[in-house]
Structure 1
C-alpha cells in the first residue's frame, strides 16, 4: 500500500515548530529526544517495539488457528501502522464507514470490510464500482437500498446480531430471509455471514451467540445459499471466536477483525484481553503513552495536569499514571490515580506532585486515542523519535 509522507508544522499538536515545516522523515532523521525541547505537552507517543511485537503476536495467532486477519483500521487510521499489519500478513482491513473505506482505497488497500450497514445511495453508487470492498446488511430494507443501485456490483455480508446489541438481524429466520434476498438480487453478491460479539458481558453469552452464528451458517448452507466467508471478532473475545467457530463447515473461511490489539492499552483491554485466558498464546503490550505536565498542586492530595478530553480517551476508563519524571529522572507513580478529566485538565489524586513534574500515562481504549492526534511520534526504548505516524480521521 502507499504511505504518503507526513509533514510536520505549526498545526501538529505536541510538536513545537512555530516557524518551520518538515517532512516526517526529515524530522525523524534528527532522532530528537522527547525531553530535548522540541515538543510541548501534552503529547501522545507510540512505542515502536511494543507495536511491532503486538502485530507479530496477532499475525502468529491467526496463522496457528488458520484464520484470515482484517484488523479494524478505524482504531488507528494511521497508514504507517496499517502498512506494518499488511507486512505481517493481514488479509485485508476493516473500517466502520464508507468514508474510512474511501481513505483506505486511496491508500491502495485492496480488501476492505465495512463492518456496518450502508444505506446511503451516494456511498452505495461508489461501492458498486469498487472491487474488493464489502459491507453489511441486516434487513430487507438494506438489501433493497443496495439492489436499487443502477450499475456495478455490490458484495455484502449478512449480519447476525443479538438482543440489546447494535446492528444485526436478531433471528435465524431473519438471517435466512435477508440472505436469500441478497442471493436473488441481480447485482448483489453474498460474501458471507458476519457478527460482532464484543458487546456481550461474559463468556457464556458470547459462546451462546457464536454458537448461533454457526447454526445460522449451517442453516444457510442447508438451504442452498452459497457463500464462503464468516467474519467476527472484537479485541475482547477473539479466543472464543476461535473456539466456537471451529464448528463451522470446512468450506468457509473465518476472518478475524480485532483492531485494538495493535497497540493494546493499560486499562480496558489490559483487563479484557483474551490472553488472560490463554496466556500461552500472547501476550500483548501497551504501546501508547501520554505525557503531560503538572500545572498546579492547589491543595493537599490534588494535582492538575495539562491534559484533557481533547487529548486522551476517557470513554472506557481514565488514563493511568505510570511514572513521574522530575529533573530528568523517573519517580514511581504508585498510589496516584486520575479521578476526572475536563477539556484540557486532568485531576490527579496524589501527594507529592509539584508544578513542572512530567507524568507518563497509560491510556484506556485506543480506539478513541488516535483520532485526537494528527501526528504521533514513534519512539524507541530511549524515547528518541524514529518515525512520525500521521492519522487520517
Structure 2
C-alpha cells in the first residue's frame, strides 16, 4: 500500500507553499501551517476538518439506526485517506463506477468493492480474475444488466482461467428514460437465467440507482424501490440465490437515502441474511448547492444535518469598476457543472479580518477567473481573499490532487491526496 505521507511536495500540487518544495506531505502536515499566513498561494481549496468528521459520524449512526450496510461511492473523492476513515466509521466497503477506480482501491488495500456498472472490458476482467484468485479475502460485486453483457463477462473470465466466480447483482433500471439497467422484471429474469447458465458468475442479489427515476419525487422513488425489493423477494422464493450465503439488495445515492432506508425496512425476511447496501458518497464533503437542497436530512431534520466541508479561497486581482471584480479562480479550480460558487466570506488583504461577503455575487467563471458582481457599498478590494462555497462535490475533488484539511482557526492538519 502506498505511503502517502512520504510523497514529496513539489510543483505538481497547486496552491501549496513554494518554500515547502522537497518536504514530504507528512513533514509539511507536521508543521501545522496556517492556510492564510503559511505561504499558500491562491486559489486554494480547503476541506474543513470539523465538517468532514461530523459528516462521517452522521452517516455512520444513520446507517446503524436503519439497519443498513454502507458502501460509499468513492468516485466522489478518489481519496484513500477518506476511504480509510469511512471504513473506520463502519463502512462495509467502497463503491466504484469504472475499473480504474477499483484498481486504485485495491492498490490502497480496499478489501470489499461494489462496482455499480456492468463490467465487460476484457482487460479489466482479466485483472479482476487475478485479484480474486490471489486474495481469498477480496470481495467484489458488480452489476449485470444484459444477456450480452453476461456472455462477454463469461467469455473473458473463462479465457483468463478464473478460479473464483464473480459475484453479480442484476440492475433494475429506474424506468423508461432512465440511465442503465434492465427495464422490466421479465428482462431481469432473462439476465438472471444467463448468469445461472455460467460457471464464472454467481447471482447474489439485485440493485439499482433511484436517483435516475424520471421526474424523481418521494412517491416515484418509493414505487421503484418497491419493485426492487419485490424482485429480491420473488427471486428468493424461486431459489435463484441458492449459490450464495447472503443476498445483496443495494441502492442509494445522496438525494433519496431516506426513502431507500424506508423501503428496505419493509423487506420481509428471506431465506438467507440480506445485505441492505446503501451507496451514498457525496456526504463526506457535502456542498453549498445541489445536495444542500436535496439532502434527505432536509425532509427528516430529526435525523441530523450534513455540513458543507469545502471552501475555495481566491484572491481579488482586478476591480475595474465599482460594480465588478475578478478573482483568480476559474473553471480549473471550482466545481461548476451544476451551479456557480457562492460568495460567503471575505478575508481582508490588509488586516486579515474575515467578514461576511455582503453584496457580493459570483456571476460567471472563465478558465482562470471568477466574475464577481458587487452591489453599492460592498467592501471588496484588490488583494482581498474571497471564500466561496461550492456546488456538487463530485466535481470538486477531481480538480485538486492534494487538498489541505483545515481546522476552523486556519491550521492545516493534513493533506488529502486524490487519484483521478
Is 1:239 the counterpart of 2:255 in the alignment?
no
Residue 221 of structure 2: aligned partner: 206
Distance between the aligned counterparts of 2:212 and 2:111, measured in 1?
29
Alpha-carbon offset, residue 191 of structure 1: 2.1
Distance between the aligned counterparts of 1:179 and 1:40, measured in 2?
55
Superposed CA offset, 1:310-359 (max 9, x none): 11111121111110111201122133222211111111122332211101
Distance between the aligned counterparts of 1:48 and 1:250, measured in 2?
40
1:334 to 358, 367, 384: 358
Q: In the TM superposition, what are the counterparts of 1:72-83 in structure 2 within 5 Å?
A: 72-83=73-84
Alpha carbons of 1:19 and 1:92: their partners in 2 closer, same or farther (altered >3 Å)?
Answer: closer
Superposed CA offset, 1:88-110 (max 9, x none): 11100001111100110110000
Consecutive unaligned residues in structure 1, runs of 5 or more: none
Q: Is the 8 A contact 1:71 1:94 kept in 2?
A: yes
1:361 to 388, 392, 408: 388
Q: Is the 8 A contact 1:3 1:83 kept in 2?
A: no
Distance between the aligned counterparts of 1:29 and 1:389, measured in 2?
14
Residue 216 of structure 1: aligned partner: 231
Distance between the aligned counterparts of 1:273 and 1:113, measured in 2?
23
Residue 102 of structure 2: aligned partner: 101
Q: In the TM superposition, what are the counterparts of 1:28-177 in structure 2 within 5 Å?
A: 28-129=29-130, 130=132, 131-148=138-155, 149-150=157-158, 151-152=161-162, 153-162=165-174, 163-177=176-190
Give RMSD over aligned pairs: 1.5
Superposed CA offset, 1:176-235 (max 9, x none): 111121122111111211110113332122111111112221222232200510110000
Distance between the aligned counterparts of 2:140 and 2:392, measured in 1?
27
Q: Is the 8 A contact 2:79 2:419 kept in 1?
A: yes
Consecutive unaligned residues in structure 2, runs of 5 or more: 133-137
Alpha-carbon offset, residue 127 of structure 1: 1.4
Q: Is the 8 A contact 1:275 1:281 kept in 2?
A: yes
Q: Is the 8 A contact 2:66 2:265 kept in 1?
A: no
Q: Is the 8 A contact 2:210 2:251 kept in 1?
A: yes
Using the size of structure 2 for normalisation, the TM-score is 0.90
Alpha-carbon offset, residue 32 of structure 1: 0.6
Distance between the aligned counterparts of 2:398 and 2:308, measured in 1?
18
Distance between the aligned counterparts of 2:419 and 2:55, measured in 1?
22
Q: Is the 8 A contact 2:93 2:114 kept in 1?
A: yes
Q: Is the 8 A contact 1:10 1:18 kept in 2?
A: no
Residue 289 of structure 1: aligned partner: 311
Residue 9 of structure 2: aligned partner: 8
Distance between the aligned counterparts of 2:109 and 2:374, measured in 1?
48
Alpha carbons of 1:231 and 1:2: their partners in 2 closer, same or farther (altered >3 Å)?
Answer: farther
Residue 408 of structure 2: aligned partner: 381
Q: Is the 8 A contact 1:69 1:91 kept in 2?
A: yes
Residue 368 of structure 2: aligned partner: 344
Alpha-carbon offset, residue 41 of structure 1: 0.6
Residue 179 of structure 1: aligned partner: 192
Alpha carbons of 1:19 and 1:218: their partners in 2 closer, same or farther (altered >3 Å)?
Answer: closer
Residue 206 of structure 2: aligned partner: 193
Alpha-carbon offset, residue 31 of structure 1: 1.0
Q: What is the DSSP-based 3-state SS (H/G/I as helix, E as strand, rest coil) of the residue aligned with 2:127?
A: helix
Distance between the aligned counterparts of 1:19 and 1:292, measured in 2?
20
Residue 321 of structure 2: aligned partner: 299
Distance between the aligned counterparts of 2:370 and 2:250, measured in 1?
39
Q: Is the 8 A contact 2:8 2:21 kept in 1?
A: no
Q: In the TM superposition, what are the counterparts of 1:298-317 in structure 2 within 5 Å?
A: 298-317=320-339
Distance between the aligned counterparts of 1:334 and 1:176, measured in 2?
58
Distance between the aligned counterparts of 1:319 and 1:3, measured in 2?
34
Superposed CA offset, 1:149-185 (max 9, x none): 2122212111011221211111111111111211221
Aligned residue pairs total 393
Q: Is the 8 A contact 2:170 2:205 kept in 1?
A: yes
Distance between the aligned counterparts of 2:240 and 2:20, measured in 1?
62
Alpha-carbon offset, residue 3 of structure 1: 5.2
Farther off after superposition, 283-292 or 192-201: 192-201
Distance between the aligned counterparts of 2:96 and 2:3, measured in 1?
18
Distance between the aligned counterparts of 1:3 and 1:238, measured in 2?
34
Alpha carbons of 1:330 and 1:70: their partners in 2 closer, same or farther (altered >3 Å)?
Answer: same
Farther off after superposition, 41-50 or 28-37: 28-37
